[in-house]
Structure 1
Amino acid sequence: MFMLLIFIINTVLVASADLKPGYYSKTCPQAETIVRDVMKKSLLKEPRSVASIMRFQFHDCFVNGCDGSLLLDDTPTVLGEKLALSNINSLRSFEVVDEIKEALEKACPGIVSCADIIIMASRDAVALTGGPDWQVKLGRLDSLSASQQNSSDIMPSPRSNATTLINLFQKYNLDVKDLVALSGSHSIGKARCFSIMFRLYNQSGSGKPDPALDPDFRAELDKLCPLDVDQNKTGNLDATPVIFDNQYFKDLVGGKGFLNSDQTLFTFPQTQGLVRLYSIDQNEFFKAFVEGMVKLGDLQSDQPGEIRKNCRVVNPRPAPHVLY
């Protein structure tokens, strides 16, 4: 007879602790400064990159909570979320997170989670492009796995209408106000022609363009995205794509929303009033956006986690020791 003892070394698997501001104030006091410095450099190098990073928070937190699962690469046994339907050929700039993580590991090895990097970098993307700044709650752990299927099933399509979006957000205790305000994340960045081809040429199977489109704007989009276009070609999500402001909502009121899922917020009665409000009152938009981002960041996984050394891969597990 023998006793089998398995020792897991250097790996702590616990549920995520309560989130709080200043979580790293003692263990890595320069953490938030390091993240913002890298984001500043990224913004100067390629303005579009910070908009991409901001959207990581949405695509990560909706899928099993804010746990950094989005950042994991595929492995022979696990399909990561980067190639999910809503992410493939869309999400980009993962190398910026790699750069942030490398800087943090040099300063404070094994302290700051990749999940928290997403939250800090998303906030910085907004603040550095003219939007509001706010205090983020930190203390998340990184997931041990990912779910491409969950990501594909959960994340909304550019074809989504307001009803679909409202129902999705309600599942996460996010209300209509949160939905409209957080949709304002499209104040910066670009999207692909792929996302709007149906709007231009076959809205709702009609063989015609979306009637909600302003005629002049539709003509612009026809030139940008003709039928024979490379559908990975991109267009601006609003008229000021490198400035975080309320122009996005002004565009929706004018029938110039790039995505169907955006424009439907103005054509749907339950959301139209908020779109109008934010189009004329940027401060109200900023306030509601911050509230929504904090609520979104509160979504947590109930699964075990760790602090990854590399955001793209789970920490290596040592082989179990068997004692007889």
Structure 2
Amino acid sequence: MGYIADREQFSDFIDKLKEDYEIWAPKKFKGGGRFSDTDAVRYAVIESPDEIELNEKSAYSWKEAVLPPSETLFYFAENHAGETEGPAKKKLVFLRSCDLAAVKRMDQIYMKNGDPDYYYERRRKDMAFALIGCSESCENGFCVSMQSNMADNYDFSVDLVDGHYRLDCKKEAWDELLKMAGAASADVVPQRVTENKVKVNIPEDLSYKVGMSSMWDQYDSRCINCGRCNLVCPTCTCFTMQDVFYDDNGKVGERRRVQASCMVDGYTDVAGGGSYRQKNGQRMRFKTLHKVLDFRERFGYQMCVGCGRCDDICPEYISFSNIINHLEDGMKEVRGND
């Protein structure tokens, strides 16, 4: 059902949800930006609905709510090991349609790609999602091209219009909370983007042959392999393991799962001293084809959701959407070589 609520009514609704849920939402951090005197919008636990940033896109994605940058899996001592406790409360996450599409991609990798990942599943199973409507396209976003601009798998949606909150609620129990808060019934449809300034075209005949194109060579010098594009991406799922020892004899410590990046040095190191994709262009090729080719061939839909965060964060101004649009030229080059 649809509702219109003022600030006080929406606040009462959120306060009721906080009794059962830890609420994660994009939040503005004053002075927390990458440059002097700039702010940053990133995900954090919020205490008041006034903290929820409903206008600006977050610099980092929602995935930190379910995949912490560093997560302790278990502790060990000389004679025993102990598993860490799961989340104390359920989580409600506010996100946009592209990030809600990314939830499907994360679930595919961690829960449907073989046996479910235990640590992901125990965080994911009690999560609910609130869709933040998009009244206009964000900078660098190309969600329309990736068909991630429209989402319906939310528990409720929220749009702030003329100082009032417009909500479309799909949970019957939460309908009652909104009625108790005094929200008025109304016909509500979440705002959604129908056109982006940035558009991408993935060639219909895209194949792994494009990996032989010279288009990747430019990134040997342009890319500095910082890995920021992976860390802000809502669909990058890679991690590494770290054992941290509390004493010199190595008998007491913990094992951590830490987010990793296919763009950084050391990612492809293997036993015996081997290391693959040492050139940055090779790494860019691997990342790109995983996002728009490999994942689709395995699961039937594209991995990239077109949020544009990789373009936003890159210190070298490398545009991922531009790379995608050059794949057609890359295919023409390799066809000519044949």
Calculate the TM-score normalised by the size of structure 2. Answer: 0.24
> Which one has a larger percent strand, Structure 1 or Structure 2?
2
Calculate the TM-score normalised by the size of structure 1. Answer: 0.25
> Which one has a larger percent helix, Structure 1 or Structure 2?
1
Larger-Rg structure: 2
